[in-house]
Homo-oligomer: A and B are copies of this chain.
Amino acid sequence: MAHEPSDALFAALADPTRRSILRAVAERGPVTATALSVELPISRQAVAKHLGLLRNAGLVAADRSGRETRFVVVGAPLEDLAAWAEQAGRRWDDRLARLGERLRDQPHLTRE
């Protein structure tokens, strides 16, 4: 069963720059912070800071080899997030369906 996404996961994704860095890592990884800063309109230092937050949230992993650190996306938390959001949406759909049934069964039901 999927894990409920963590506070840190949502917080990490609540910034458009971090979402664009995550996207770039997904498309280019394994990739260094330096390589990412070349193609994004932000400094290497800022990229490294955002990568640290994404890493704390479990969304990227750092692979150290020699003097270089390359980043890759970790797929599982995004899958957990998709499952959580789908389930939350579905719970609401079920609720709507039940409400519809109740209204059909009790045509004189008022809104109070």
Verify B92–A78 contact, CB threshold 8 A.
Answer: yes
- The size bracket of the interface on A is 35 or more
Assess whether A46 is interfacial by the CB under 8 Å rule. Answer: no
Residues of A1-59 at the interface with B, using a CB-CB cut-off of 8 Å, are 4-5, 7-8, 10-11, 13-16, 19, 22-23, 26-27, 29
Question: Residue A89 at the B interface, CB < 8 A?
Answer: yes
A5–B5 Cα distance when bound, in Å, is 16
Which of chain B's residues have a CB closer than 8 A to the CB of A13?
Answer: 5, 10
Main secondary structure, interface of A, reads helix
Chain A, 85-96, contact with B by CB distance < 8 Å: what is the 0/1 string?
Answer: 110110111011
- Asked if A27 and B95 make an inter-chain contact with CB atoms under 8 angstroms apart, the answer reads yes
Q: Is A82 engaged at the interface, CB distance under 8 Å to the other chain?
A: yes
CA A16 – CA B5 in complex, angstroms? 10
Closest 7 CB pairs of A and B: A10-B14, A78-B89, A82-B85, A81-B85, A11-B14, A82-B86, A73-B92
